[in-house]
Amino acid sequence: MAGINLLPWREAARKKSQQQFVMSIVGAVAVGVLAVGAGYTYMEGRISYQESRNAYIQAEIKRLDKTLEEIKTLDANKKALLDRIAVIEKLQSTRPGIVHLFDEMVNALPKGLYLTHLVQEENKIKLEGKAESSARVSSYMNRLNASPWLSSSDLNTIKVDPKDDKSRLRSFKLNVNQLLTQAGDKESENGN
């Protein structure tokens, strides 16, 4: 037995073992490269899919932003139209007010009193005139307060002009409020 040389067999086994080791390393590297490549491809696909979803969402957001702008424009137009309608309704409800105002002022005017100046600022009316006596001014104020279209007459001044000795007329200034809401209510009641 001593004469058998086992070295070539060991060497062949060692080479075979080295080849198997290199092959397993190469196989492991190939499997690793394939796994990394597959993972990279999968992740690139997922990223591409997510980017397409993001692009779709961005496009929808832009479309909705345009829709919101249209809605805001429509809301602004609606508000403007509602404001116009409110103004028209207010004008319609107060339209007969001036007629009733002059009618009531003439009906309430006592003899011996006349108006020289009338100014209307919204619902407040400033009157100036001349009267034969203070009692006539008081009577006029009472008649104005009794009117369904006027209220709250308020005397500012009453005085005798010292230059006018002959007539001795008293100049007066008073304020009165016009009741437009009652005017609209009475008109609607008369219409029904």
CA distance 109 to 112: 9
Contacts of 147 (CB under 8 A, 6+ apart): 104, 107, 108
Asked whether the predicted pLDDT for residue 185 surpasses 70, the reply is: no
pLDDT band at 4 (very low <50, low <70, confident <90, very high): low
20-67: pLDDT as tens digits: 999 999 999 999 999 999 999 999 999 999 999 999 999 999 999 999
For 119-133, the pLDDT digits (tens) are: 888 778 888 888 888
User: 72 or 93: whose pLDDT is higher?
Assistant: 72
pLDDT bin (cut points 50, 70, 90) of residue 183 is very low
DSSP 68-131: HHHHHHHHHHHHHHHHHHHHHHHHHHHTTHHHHHHHHHHHHPPTTEEEEEEEEETTEEEEEEEE
pLDDT in tens, 129-149: 888 888 888 888 888 888 887
Tell me, what DSSP letter sits at residue 51?
A: H
105-117 pLDDT tens trace: 788 888 888 888 8
Distance CA 44, CA 131 (A): 100
pTM for the whole thing? Answer: 0.48
pLDDT of 179:
78
Higher confidence at residue 156 or residue 4? 156
